């Protein structure tokens, strides 16, 4: 052994820092083959380091066991943990030596993803809990993520309850084929919530997504999570005045997602939540438009910068009036992101600008997302948007798929923005990186030479319904104008689809596809001819 080798034994902190760059991400897409291969390579590298040098042993194993995609590697340390007919059992007892070895490795685990597909018999968790004797199975667990658990996983949830937990994502699943009692999952979700509120009260991030509603009795235990900073609850969990008053005591909340269903104010009096949510910066709120407004007007949220209003499947009639009241209440000083999803109307408003108008004073807006049924939008409306939101990075005015699947193909029959609207956005919103508009009328085009050449940055562009661009000459003009405005368009999916949101259901995509091909040719021309493709005629003939 070289004389200098023993000095490495004091370098554990440095080795931890160096090897942390080999740490696989805690959350990943299970069906992504490239990502799975990368994780396998990182784990094999860490294992090789652990067995090749004693100085690397503990740091490498700490990183290797830091986050588990499933719990099997840990339980397989028990010799009696065996698989029969796709289900794992413990055949016989657990020896003190095997249990001690498991506990040594369990202490290294900081994150676990547990799925209902793990195929572990309930008896395994009963035995594990008996062996733990009231102590947590993973004493240093920080993050726990479940995938579609059902009633049979209550003992597993108890095994993972640790005082060290800070982030918990609980997703439950009701078997619609009738194999599970239809009334079992909601109580199990509620019992799990109570269990964690007692054994892991210092959780800072909590997500609960059951398919069925949790009872009020179980929801009241949320008030025990006094350190909670992020709370995300599915739409099935509706909060009335009494439950909302419990959340007021969670003084550290910064992010919150929930739905409200308030009682009649004439009977129960006004709602006052001004003492809570003082640190809230992000709010996603579901419910009827009138209830959304009542909640917002009852609160004082001076740090709010991200607001999403989601009526869901409920009729969105009256949201325009409620939104106007909300905007007047919160003021235009901090809001940087706004989103709403409205498709169901009994009597829809005449113009999309009816919704956008109250947001125009919010000059700091960087992201605006509207999922709305197709409504008329003028060029002048776009001009106002461009001047009102100079810091805009994302504008998604996304149309209902039902409307896109049967688009009106006659230019001029419906009020639609034209290319002139895109020119204004490009001029006044230089930070724009994502733009999705439901419709564009290509029957009115500017002269190409009159369109300014802008050094706009990379942009994802989605035009869901392009009308009046059937002939090749028009398509070429549109491509030339777009290339002048947005010379760095990302055309991986063309201009007819929005990255990350699936394929466009519009059957009339041929025009958009042709324009995308022309734009690609223009971009490649700039790469091969730095002086520009328009100056090729100046080159001397060969």
3-state secondary structure 217-259: HHHHHHHHCCCCCEEEECCCCEECHHHHHHHCCCCCCCEEEEE
The 8 Å CB, 24+ separation contacts for 353-359 are 353/377, 353/378, 353/381, 353/384, 354/320, 355/319, 355/320, 355/323, 356/381, 356/385, 357/324, 358/323, 358/324, 358/326, 358/327, 358/328, 359/323, 359/327, 359/388
- CA 411 – CA 434 distance, rounded (Å): 25
Between 497 and 145, the higher pLDDT residue: 145
- CA 473 – CA 451 distance, rounded (Å): 17
The pLDDT of residue 12 is above 70 = no
Does the global pTM surpass 0.85?
A: no
CA 539 to chain centre: 51
- CA 357 – CA 179 distance, rounded (Å): 51
For residue range 63-76, list pLDDT tens digits in order: 788 888 889 999 99
Burial class, 428, CB count within 10 angstroms (exposed 0-12 / middle 13-18 / buried 19+)? middle
Question: Going by DSSP bridges, is the β-strand pair 282-286/306-310 parallel, antiparallel, or unpaired?
Answer: parallel
- CA 314 – CA 308 distance, rounded (Å): 16
For residue range 224-260, list pLDDT tens digits in order: 999 999 999 987 788 999 999 999 999 999 999 999 9
- CA 309 – CA 287 distance, rounded (Å): 8
The pLDDT of residue 511 is above 70 = yes
For residue range 521-533, list pLDDT tens digits in order: 999 888 776 665 5
Q: Are 271 and 241 in contact (CB under 8 A)?
A: yes
Query: What are the structure tokens assigned to 45, written together?
Result: 């590298």
Please state, as a whole number, how many other Cβ atoms lie within 10 Å of the Cβ of residue 40. 11
Query: What are the structure tokens assigned to 105, written together?
Result: 């490795």
DSSP class of residue 522 equals H
Cross-strand pairs, 308: 284, 339
Please state, as a whole number, how many other Cβ atoms lie within 10 Å of the Cβ of residue 15. 20
Question: Going by DSSP bridges, is the β-strand pair 459-467/489-490 parallel, antiparallel, or unpaired?
Answer: parallel
Query: What are the structure tokens assigned to 472, written together?
Result: 């090749």
- CA 392 – CA 414 distance, rounded (Å): 27
**Per-residue confidence (pLDDT) for residue 533, from 0 to 100:** 52
Q: Are 55 and 11 in contact (CB under 8 A)?
A: yes
For residue range 288-344, list pLDDT tens digits in order: 888 999 999 999 999 999 999 988 776 778 888 899 999 999 977 789 999 998 767
For residue 424, name the pLDDT band (cuts at 50, 70, 90): very high
- CA 410 – CA 375 distance, rounded (Å): 16
Instruction: Name the CA dihedral angle for 47, 49, 52, 54, rounded to a multiple of 10 degrees.
Output: -110
The domains of the chain are located at 8-64, 349-530
For residue range 476-490, list pLDDT tens digits in order: 999 999 999 999 998
* CA atoms lying within 13 Å on the CB side of residue 276: 21
SS3 463: strand
For residue 512, name the pLDDT band (cuts at 50, 70, 90): confident
The mean-pLDDT minimum among 163-167, 178-182, 520-524 falls in 178-182
SS3 326: helix
Reported residue count of the chain is 542
The pLDDT of residue 9 is above 70 = no
């Amino acid at each position: 052994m070289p004389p200098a080798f023993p000095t490495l034994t004091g370098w554990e902190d440095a080795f931890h820092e160096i090897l942390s760059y080999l740490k696989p991400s805690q959350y990943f897409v299970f069906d992504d083959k490239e990502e799975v291969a990368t994780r396998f390579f990182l784990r094999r590298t860490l294992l090789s380091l652990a067995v090749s040098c004693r100085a690397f042993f503990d740091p490498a194993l700490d990183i290797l066991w830091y986050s588990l995609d499933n719990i099997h590697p840990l339980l397989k340390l028990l010799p009696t943990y065996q698989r029969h007919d796709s289900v794992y059992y413990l055949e016989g007892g657990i020896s003190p030596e095997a249990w001690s070895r498991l506990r040594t490795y369990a202490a290294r685990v900081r994150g676990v993803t547990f799925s209902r597909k793990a195929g572990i018999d309930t008896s395994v968790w009963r035995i594990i809990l008996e062996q733990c004797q009231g102590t947590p199975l993973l004493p240093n667990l920080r993050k726990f993520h479940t995938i579609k658990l059902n009633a049979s996983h209550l003992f597993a949830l108890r095994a993972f309850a640790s005082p060290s937990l800070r982030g918990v994502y609980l997703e439950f699943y009701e078997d619609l084929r009738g194999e599970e009692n239809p009334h079992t999952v909601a109580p199990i979700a509620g019992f799990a919530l109570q269990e964690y509120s007692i054994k892991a009260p210092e959780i800072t991030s909590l997500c609960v997504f059951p398919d069925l509603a949790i009872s009020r009795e179980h929801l009241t235990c949320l008030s025990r999570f006094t350190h909670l900073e992020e709370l995300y609850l599915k739409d099935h969990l509706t909060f009335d005045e009494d439950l909302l008053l419990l959340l007021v005591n969670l003084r550290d909340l910064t992010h919150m997602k929930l739905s409200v269903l308030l009682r009649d104010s004439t009977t129960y009096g006004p709602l006052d939540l001004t003492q809570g949510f003082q640190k809230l910066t992000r709010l996603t709120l579901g419910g009827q438009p009138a209830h959304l407004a009542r909640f917002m007007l009852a609160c004082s949220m001076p740090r709010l910068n991200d607001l999403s209003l989601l009526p869901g499947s409920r009729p969105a009639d009256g949201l325009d009036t409620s939104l106007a009241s909300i905007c007047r209440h919160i003021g235009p000083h901090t809001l940087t992101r706004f989103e709403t999803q409205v498709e169901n109307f009994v009597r829809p408003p005449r113009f999309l600008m009816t919704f956008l108008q109250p947001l125009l004073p919010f000059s700091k807006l960087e992201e605006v997302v509207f999922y709305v049924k197709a409504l008329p939008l003028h060029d002048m409306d776009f001009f106002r948007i461009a001047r009102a939101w100079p810091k805009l990075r994302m504008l998604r005015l996304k149309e209902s798929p039902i409307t896109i699947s049967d688009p009106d193909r006659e230019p001029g029959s419906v009020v639609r923005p034209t290319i002139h609207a895109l020119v204004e956005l490009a001029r006044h919103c230089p930070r724009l990186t994502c733009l999705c508009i439901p419709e564009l009328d290509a029957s009115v085009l500017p002269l190409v030479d009159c369109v300014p050449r802008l050094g706009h940055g990379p942009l994802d562009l989605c035009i869901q319904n392009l009308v009046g661009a059937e002939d090749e000459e028009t398509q070429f003009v549109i491509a030339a104008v777009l290339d002048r405005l947005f010379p760095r368009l990302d055309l991986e999916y063309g201009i007819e689809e929005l990255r990350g949101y699936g394929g466009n259901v519009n059957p009339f995509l041929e025009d958009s596809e042709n324009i995308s091909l022309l734009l690609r040719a223009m971009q490649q021309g700039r790469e091969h001819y730095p002086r520009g493709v328009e100056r090729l005629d100046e080159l001397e003939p060969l």
